[in-house]
Amino acid sequence: MVAEPSPQDNILLDVRGLKKYFPIQRGLLRRTVGYVKAVDDVTFFVREGETLGLVGESGCGKTTAGRTIIRLYEPTAGSALFKTRLLSPDGSPQMVDLLKADKQQLKLLRQEIAMIFQDPINSLNPRMSVSDIIAEPLVIHGRGKGPEVEEIIVNLLERVGLRPEHMRRYPHEFSGGQRQRIGIARALALNPRLVICDEPVSALDVSIQAQTLNLLQDLQADFNLSYIFVAHDLSVVQHVSDRVAVMYVGKIVEMADAEELYINPLHPYTEALMSAVPKPDPLYKSERIVMQGDVADPSNPPPGCYFHPRCRYAVDICSKQTPEFRELRPDHFVACHRAEELQLRGV
Amino acid sequence: MSSGDTLVEVKDLKVEFDVREGIIKAVDGLSLTVKRGRTLGVIGESGCGKSMTARAILNMVPKPGKITGGEILYYRQVGGNGKPLITDVINITKLDPDGELIRQIRGGEIGMIFQEPMSSLTPVYTAGTHINEAVTLHRLIPIRKVGDQLVETIQAHRKVSKQEAREIAIEMLRKVGIPKPEQRVDAYPHQLSGGQRQRVMIAVALSCEPKMLIADEPTTALDVSIEAQILDLMRELQETVDMAIMFITHNLGVIAEMAEEIVVMYMGKQVEQASAVELFYEPQHPYTRALLQSIPHVGKKSRQRLASIAGMVPDPFHLPPGCVFHPRCSSFMPGKCDVIVPGWKQIGPNHWVRCLLYEEV
Amino acid sequence: MAQATTKGASETKKQVSQSYWSLVWWKFKKNKTAVVGGIILIVFYLCFVGLAEFLAPYSLERRSNYTEAPPQIIRFIDAQGKFHLRPFVYGLEKHIDQETRKRTFKEDPSRVYPIYFFVRREPYKLFGLFPTDIHLFGVDESDPAASIFIMGTDSNGRDYFSRILYGGRLSLMIGLLGQFLTLLLGCVLGVISGYYGGATDMFVQRTTEFLNAFPDIPLFMALAAAIPKHWSPVTVYFMLTIILAFVRWGGLARQVRGLILSLREREYVLAARSAGASDARLMFRHLLPGTMSHVIVIATLSIPGMILSETALSWLGLGLRPPLTSWGVLLQEAGTVYAIRYAPWLLWTIPFLLITILAYNMLGDGLRDAMDPYGGR
Ligand SMILES: Nc1ncnc2c1ncn2[C@@H]1O[C@H](COP(=O)(O)OP(=O)(O)OP(=O)(O)O)[C@@H](O)[C@H]1O
Ligand SMILES: Nc1ncnc2c1ncn2[C@@H]1O[C@H](COP(=O)(O)OP(=O)(O)OP(=O)(O)O)[C@@H](O)[C@H]1O
Ligand SMILES: [Mg+2]
Ligand SMILES: [Mg+2]
């Protein structure tokens, strides 16, 4: 985590110190009176061909982080090195900072990074037919013409389990799950290498969720895709992810191999999260750890560790000093003062 | 159980979409009963008509859909406060969808939390739209503050002053776990995260203390800890105001936790109905079984493929003959399932199933 | 079974989907008031703009000796109570009022002029293209005293019905043309202002505020006064359209901007952006179409304002000048107590104006409801 990754490593994306503050404006003159620290010093990396799960409280900045990386939002600070062959003249791999790429570079790079959005209907233009929606990235990047594009679309639709005749329909004619698959087909249109999946399966029913997860895994195997996979369903995250990062109020508090994280969580927030997972068993008595107090406010976070007001293990130091994000065990990173001493319960 | 317990009774409901290619039977002969203070879970394939059933109960099936058959009886209790309770039976399907009565019921007596909060945002926000109607129809208006929208909705259904309504709004926002609700009431919808918007809509639905809550995938956008908090909040309200809940979700974990009774739907029909415990422990319909097998279980880590149901949902214009599930069924009986339409059969004291495995033919 | 499949096959052939606009149309059709409004407008535009020459028995400037003659009523039954299949009018007879020393006209039942249809009179070009001389109706002009003024004549002896038809052409066109310019200006500036924000937005916003803050009429007056007197009436007409558009684009631009601000945050816009779409593509393929429904409604509802502004300006004598004739010009001529007292038929312009405005409002209201087809129930 210390050395800058070189193009020879199998690191595809290396994000360091990423910050995104949204100004809070008040009054007639739109004076900035403060900032929502939606993403506040986030550091993580994604290896080639792996899936990094990203979980955390709703509103903790997962979407913002994803969007800042592909520059839908202008970053406040940080770097995001992305390994690509597109920008070097001889086609050799090179680490390019996405956050500093200029307009033209960015357009090229966007062929390699796609996004699947959280809200399946809102992310489809209601005025465009399904074929226009899926064809859009192809058209933007001048890939193929008329019948070729059509063929690609038919292919994509079949891959995501829709029918070719759905092409002429409009998004509002589909159910939630079908809409999301249209979004997935669009994301895959340019054969990207990194797909940021922002809750791609939240709106899907379990059998299509299973199909979609299988599909995403097949595509990963076929094209060596990498995913950043944001989801709330921890069982799904565990199923698809190689590694999982846990976010709390704009910061990553823990990151580890999926199995390790679920069995041996090192951060109290992860523990609380794990305890709240609903089990598909009506007789199961939940032993949920109830977090006290208010959810932290990203515009005015508490001093020290952001989680301390709700943490049942909090001690003095927690409210004074920001814990360092450190590698406690091999490949297991955590930001908690008491990580060494606590014995936390996994699932 | 006397009929006094029944709050909403759906009888042989049919909802059809008349699109140019033909007619889509989104809901095809569905019957269910929602009891006061109890929770009914509805699960099933995407597109099987869960949301349409929910919308039908509020008489707000979107165009070009229409309720083409059956009835929905709402047993409305009037009186109270010393006066004797009278139960008024209202057939919701017969009401004028823009009428005064249904507007009172919507949002006021039957609250709802719909899938995808910002999604149904109108392409046009017309100045004439009443805020509270937009919000009860589950749209946040993009250019108005969240708080103003909440306040107007509360005022439309409860007799409170503007100031009180604002306090209720803030209190509800706090209860659904929105940080700094005093400040967030003045935020615009796009300034909230997906889950926060969803929680605003939950706050709207619960703020009117409805007799029944229709929750259509209320927590899919939320993380597990807030999900748990909101489920707790719903149960708490269920106890204090004897609220009935119709809970629609894909998350089998949530449904196991919330529902007492579960309906499984496939292609507009219910295929199995049982108490939660029975359904999870002794599922009878092959579809239910397949459904239960296709979820990943936390703790059991395997990079194996998930079991998924083979094939696709049939094209609504070319429904397979016989049992509509037979092309995907693992217990398919040739010569039987593709010919005979299965009936609704009771196989236990509180267990129904629609499958030829349990029928003598 | 076989039957069912063939039926299914024929159904799949009609793979027409319900696009947004087809849904809008479908919903619009159900609103009877709006459809009536729409039909009225189609008929009006057809009659006034397309077929004025054909419908008018006389040309715009054709003067007769009958000044301020009252309308000649179209009759089927004559003084003897006999029914005629062919409608006719009575001739006009001059009277001198002994008290006021005023010359007036009265219908004279002894002279009967039958009305003929598709008569050949003054030549004109239909739709400005096809030379013809056929008019819808007229009387036999071999008798020089014969005339047909179904809405009377003005102080120059010109047929008022013909003048209303020609005047309607300019008034209706100025509404449409002006609104079109407004739309163009309003949409483009609104989209740019909303999309880019920052300094561009500031500039556009302040300009619209400046324009909105001005009371309409003085602004019109100032601008209209700036039009050189020696310009030809047609140039004045176009200038006037441009002035009207220029004064009115601000409101629309603000509305469009507001919509763009909210649409900009929609995920489908982000999705296109994340695929690398250019600014122009985002603005004109994703954002602007999203505002179109709204814009059309606003536009429809503000065309009457446009027509009325022209009318008001012309009435004030600042707008169109004779020989150009619009409803405003006609009203100006009629706008004296004298006219109302002695020649009330000169107020015939008003019902036409009112019906047009009403029809636009009916249409606009219907469009507003129809444009939101997914919403509602
Ligand atoms: N455009 C914006 N302006 C101001 N604040 C914003 C904006 N977008 C997001 N925020 C704030 O930033 C924080 C993070 O939002 P984000 O959408 O990234 O959350 P999230 O982790 O994706 O949550 P969810 O799981 O609910 O989707 C939230 O507190 C939100 O209110
Ligand atoms: N506007 C429409 N036009 C045509 N068909 C529609 C329309 N809206 C919904 N449908 C159809 O109605 C059926 C039922 O839809 P519904 O939204 O109830 O599904 P659902 O069970 O809620 O699915 P999900 O779990 O994905 O939300 C679907 O097959 C869908 O294709
Ligand atoms: Mg999000
Ligand atoms: Mg649904």
B20 occurs within a structural domain: yes
SS3 C370: helix
> Judging by DSSP bridges, how do beta strands B39-44 and B244-248 pair with one another?
parallel
CA A236, A16, A191: angle at the middle one, nearest 5?
55
B197 occurs within a structural domain: no
**Exposed (0-12), middle (13-18) or buried (19+): which is C214, by Cβ within 10 Å?**
middle
pLDDT at C4: 35
Q: Which candidate, C118, C113, C163, places its Cα nearest to that of C143?
A: C113
My answer on whether B97 and B220 are in the same domain is: yes
Q: What are phi and psi of B39, to 5 degrees?
A: -115, 125
Task: Answer whether B102's CB lies under 8 Å from B67's CB.
Answer: no
Question: What's the full length of chain A, in residues?
Answer: 347
My answer on whether B291 and B255 are in the same domain is: yes
> Judging by DSSP bridges, how do beta strands C75-77 and C83-96 pair with one another?
antiparallel
Q: What are phi and psi of A308, to 5 degrees?
A: -60, -35
Confidence of residue A53 (pLDDT cuts 50, 70, 90): very high
Q: Which residue of C has its CA nearest to A106?
A: C276
Instruction: Decide if pLDDT at C257 tops 50.
Output: yes
Task: Answer whether B158's CB lies under 8 Å from B150's CB.
Answer: no
- Please report, for residues A58, B138, B196, the alpha-carbon distance to residue B177 in angstroms, rounded to integers and kept in the order given: 10, 20, 9
Residue C58: CB atoms within 10 A of its CB come to 23
My answer on whether B110 and B251 are in the same domain is: yes
My answer on whether B15 and B133 are in the same domain is: no
Instruction: Decide if pLDDT at A1 tops 70.
Output: no
Question: What's the full length of chain B, in residues?
Answer: 361
- Please report, for residues A54, A314, B76, B209, C150, the alpha-carbon distance to residue B89 in angstroms, rounded to integers and kept in the order given: 49, 56, 6, 21, 63
State the smallest CA–CA distance between residue C201 and chain A in angstroms.
Answer: 14
Ligand nearest the Cα of residue A117 is: 3
B284 occurs within a structural domain: yes
- Cβ pair B63:C376 closer than 8 A: yes
**DSSP per-residue codes, C191-208:** HHHHHH-HHHHHHHHHHH
pLDDT at A158: 85
What is the spatial distance between Cα A222 and Cα A215, in angstroms, rounded to a whole number? 10
What is the spatial distance between Cα A171 and Cα A182, in angstroms, rounded to a whole number? 8
**Residue C273 at interface with chain A, using a CB cutoff of 8 Å:** yes
**Token pair of A199 as six digits:** 């809750």
My answer on whether B256 and B281 are in the same domain is: yes
pLDDT at A77: 92
| pLDDT, averaged across chain C | 77
Q: Which candidate, A70, A74, A60, A82, places its Cα nearest to that of A12?
A: A82
What is the spatial distance between Cα C72 and Cα C91, in angstroms, rounded to a whole number? 8
| pLDDT, averaged across chain A | 86
How far is it between the farthest Cα atoms of chain B?
Answer: 68
Instruction: Kindly report, as residue ranges, where domains of CATH 1.10.3720.10 are found in chain C.
Output: 164-370
Q: Is the CB of A298 under 6 A from ligand 1?
A: yes
Residue nearest atom 14 in ligand 2 by C-alpha distance? B49
Nearest to C275 among A118, A126, A136 (CB): A136
pLDDT in tens, A183-224: 888 998 888 999 999 888 877 778 778 888 888 888 888 888
Domain end among B163, B191, B219: B191
What is the spatial distance between Cα C38 and Cα C36, in angstroms, rounded to a whole number? 5
Confidence of residue C374 (pLDDT cuts 50, 70, 90): very low
Strands (E), chain C: 75-77, 83-96, 103-126, 130-139
What is the spatial distance between Cα A143 and Cα C276, in angstroms, rounded to a whole number? 13
What is the spatial distance between Cα B353 and Cα B289, in angstroms, rounded to a whole number? 12
B196 occurs within a structural domain: no
Please name the residues in contact with C163: beta carbons below 8 A apart, sequence gap of 6 or more: C60, C154, C325, C330
What is the spatial distance between Cα C305 and Cα C244, in angstroms, rounded to a whole number? 10
Higher local confidence (pLDDT), C123 or A83 = A83
Q: Is the CB of A66 under 6 A from ligand 1?
A: no
- Please report, for residues C70, C95, C96, C103, the alpha-carbon distance to residue C99 in angstroms, rounded to integers and kept in the order given: 19, 12, 9, 11
**DSSP per-residue codes, B139-182:** ---TTS-HHHHHHHHHHHHS---HHHHHHHHHHHHHHTT-SSHH
- Chain-centroid distance of CA A189 in Å reads 19
Nearest to C293 among B123, B143, B321 (CB): B123
- Compute the count of residue pairs across chains B and C with CB atoms less than 8 Å apart: 70
For the CA atoms of A189, A193, A198, A204, the dihedral, rounded to the nearest 10 degrees, stands at 60
B266 occurs within a structural domain: yes
Task: Answer whether B50's CB lies under 8 Å from B39's CB.
Answer: no
My answer on whether B112 and B233 are in the same domain is: yes
B325 occurs within a structural domain: no
Question: What's the full length of chain C, in residues?
Answer: 377
| Token pair 């226009």: residue | A132
What is the spatial distance between Cα A339 and Cα A332, in angstroms, rounded to a whole number? 11
Q: Which residue of C has its CA nearest to A165?
A: C15
Please name the residues in contact with B50: beta carbons below 8 A apart, sequence gap of 6 or more: B42, B43, B44, B216, B248, B265
CA quadruple C332, C334, C339, C340: dihedral sign: negative
Higher local confidence (pLDDT), A39 or C119 = A39
- Cβ pair B317:C8 closer than 8 A: yes
B327 occurs within a structural domain: no
B165 occurs within a structural domain: yes
**Token pair of B28 as six digits:** 């095809």
Average pLDDT over every residue of A279-305: 81
Task: Answer whether A299's CB lies under 8 Å from A37's CB.
Answer: yes
Confidence of residue C2 (pLDDT cuts 50, 70, 90): very low
Residue nearest atom 18 in ligand 1 by C-alpha distance? A61
Higher local confidence (pLDDT), C7 or A180 = A180
Strands (E), chain A: 11-26, 31-47, 51-56, 77-84, 94-97, 113-116, 194-198, 226-230, 243-248, 251-257, 326-329, 332-334
Q: Of 1.10.260.40, 1.10.3720.10, 1.10.3470.10, 1.10.357.10, which CATH number belongs to C164-370?
A: 1.10.3720.10
Instruction: Decide if pLDDT at C14 tops 60.
Output: no
Instruction: Decide if pLDDT at A147 tops 90.
Output: no
Q: Which candidate, C257, C363, C369, places its Cα nearest to that of C302?
A: C363
Domain range for B142 is 122-191
Q: What are phi and psi of A228, to 5 degrees?
A: -105, 115
My answer on whether B172 and B248 are in the same domain is: no
What is the spatial distance between Cα A50 and Cα A193, in angstroms, rounded to a whole number? 11
Q: Number of folded domains in chain B?
A: 2
Average pLDDT over every residue of A278-283: 84
**Residue C297 at interface with chain B, using a CB cutoff of 8 Å:** yes
Q: Which atom of ligand 2 is nearest to the CA of A175?
A: 26
Q: What is the DSSP letter of C140?
A: -
My answer on whether B229 and B298 are in the same domain is: yes
**Which of A318-322, B18-22, B180-184, C232-236 tops mean pLDDT?**
A318-322
For chain A, the 3-state helix, strand and coil shares in percent, each to the nearest 5, are 30, 25, 45
My answer on whether B131 and B154 are in the same domain is: yes
Q: Which candidate, B175, B350, C282, places its Cα nearest to that of A125?
A: C282
CA A81, A37, B186: angle at the middle one, nearest 5?
140
Please name the residues in contact with C26: beta carbons below 8 A apart, sequence gap of 6 or more: B64, C18, C373
pLDDT at B20: 63
Confidence of residue A302 (pLDDT cuts 50, 70, 90): confident
Instruction: Decide if pLDDT at C126 tops 90.
Output: no
My answer on whether B9 and B73 are in the same domain is: yes
pLDDT at A247: 93
Q: Which candidate, B356, B328, B333, B336, places its Cα nearest to that of B344?
A: B356
Residue nearest atom 7 in ligand 1 by C-alpha distance? B191
Indicate the residue type of C92. L
What is the spatial distance between Cα C300 and Cα C295, in angstroms, rounded to a whole number? 8
pLDDT at B361: 65
What is the spatial distance between Cα C88 and Cα C72, in angstroms, rounded to a whole number? 9
Task: Answer whether B185's CB lies under 8 Å from B172's CB.
Answer: no
Task: Answer whether A220's CB lies under 8 Å from A235's CB.
Answer: no
Please name the residues in contact with B92: beta carbons below 8 A apart, sequence gap of 6 or more: B56, B57, B58, B59, B71, B72, B73, B74, B102, B105
What CATH number is attached to the domain comprising B101? 3.40.50.300
Q: What is the pTM of this model?
A: 0.76
Q: Is the CB of A250 under 6 A from ligand 1?
A: no
- Compute, in angstroms, the gap from residue B52 CA to the centroid of ligand 2: 7
Instruction: Decide if pLDDT at C11 tops 50.
Output: no
Q: Which residue of A has its CA nearest to C17?
A: A169
Average pLDDT over every residue of C251-257: 84
What is the spatial distance between Cα A293 and Cα A313, in angstroms, rounded to a whole number? 14
- Chain-centroid distance of CA A216 in Å reads 14
Q: Which atom of ligand 1 is nearest to the CA of B223?
A: 25
**Residue C9 at interface with chain B, using a CB cutoff of 8 Å:** no
Instruction: Decide if pLDDT at C137 tops 60.
Output: yes
Instruction: Decide if pLDDT at C10 tops 50.
Output: no
Q: Which candidate, C281, B220, B108, places its Cα nearest to that of A118?
A: B220
Please name the residues in contact with B230: beta carbons below 8 A apart, sequence gap of 6 or more: B176, B177, B199, B202, B218, B219, B222
How far is it between the farthest Cα atoms of chain C?
Answer: 94
What is the spatial distance between Cα B242 and Cα B4, in angstroms, rounded to a whole number? 13
What is the spatial distance between Cα B138 and Cα B115, in angstroms, rounded to a whole number? 9
pLDDT tens for the 361 residues of chain B, in order: 445 688 899 999 999 887 766 788 889 889 999 988 899 999 988 778 888 898 889 888 877 788 998 999 988 877 666 667 777 888 888 888 777 788 778 877 888 887 654 443 333 333 334 444 545 555 566 666 777 777 777 777 777 788 888 888 888 888 887 878 887 788 777 777 767 777 788 888 887 788 889 988 888 777 888 888 888 888 888 888 888 999 998 888 899 988 999 999 998 899 999 999 999 999 999 999 998 888 887 766 666 778 878 777 787 788 888 898 998 888 888 888 888 889 898 998 989 999 988 887 6
> Judging by DSSP bridges, how do beta strands B22-35 and B6-19 pair with one another?
antiparallel
Q: Which residue of C has its CA nearest to A173?
A: C18
